[in-house]
Amino acid sequence: MSKNLPNMLESTISKIREMLDANSVVGQPIVVDGVTIIPISNISVGLGGGGSDYVSKHPNNQENPFGGGVGAGAKVTPVAFLIIKDGATRMVPVPVPANTTVDRVVEMVPDTLDKIASFIESKTEKKAE
């Protein structure tokens, strides 16, 4: 087996390490008006590679040609924010987007009920005047 594939994998892994460090999981603090906000993220990484040595058609060639490739992907998803204000710390989770139509409808119900209640309340106030 060729020495090229391990070199390609190692090179790809080192590039991923350069892109994703501890600051990718726990982000740099942001300070606004005495409030410190620290983003917290989830990181997913996928890596794949493969290759093969080909048999040379030339008997004088001592080294067989190599063909191969490596691919990688990374995904950084925000999951929460740490908020520090006046010495108190709280964690605010980032809501997960709805995956199905039913989930979206369930998420819309409280907002829709608030709008209906406001509409009924405004109609009742107009009748009272």
pTM of full prediction above 0.85: no
Judged against a pLDDT cut of 70, whether residue 9 lies above it is answered with yes
Q: For residue 16, give every residue at least 6 positions away whose Cβ sits within 8 Å of its Cβ, in sequence order, or none.
A: 45, 47, 72, 74
Question: Is the model's pLDDT at 128 over the cut of 80?
Answer: no
Q: Contact 81/92 with Cβ under 8 angstroms?
A: yes
Distance (Å, whole) CA 34 – CA 37 = 10
| CB of 82 closer than 8 Å to CB of 89 | yes
Encoding tokens for residue 17? Answer: 């390490």
The arithmetic mean of pLDDT across residues 2-16, rounded, is 73
The pLDDT tens digits for 49-104 are 777 777 767 666 666 677 788 888 888 888 899 999 988 999 988 877 767 777 77
For the beta carbon of residue 83, count every other beta carbon within 10 angstroms. Answer: 14
**What is the domain partition of the chain in residue ranges?**
4-95, 97-129
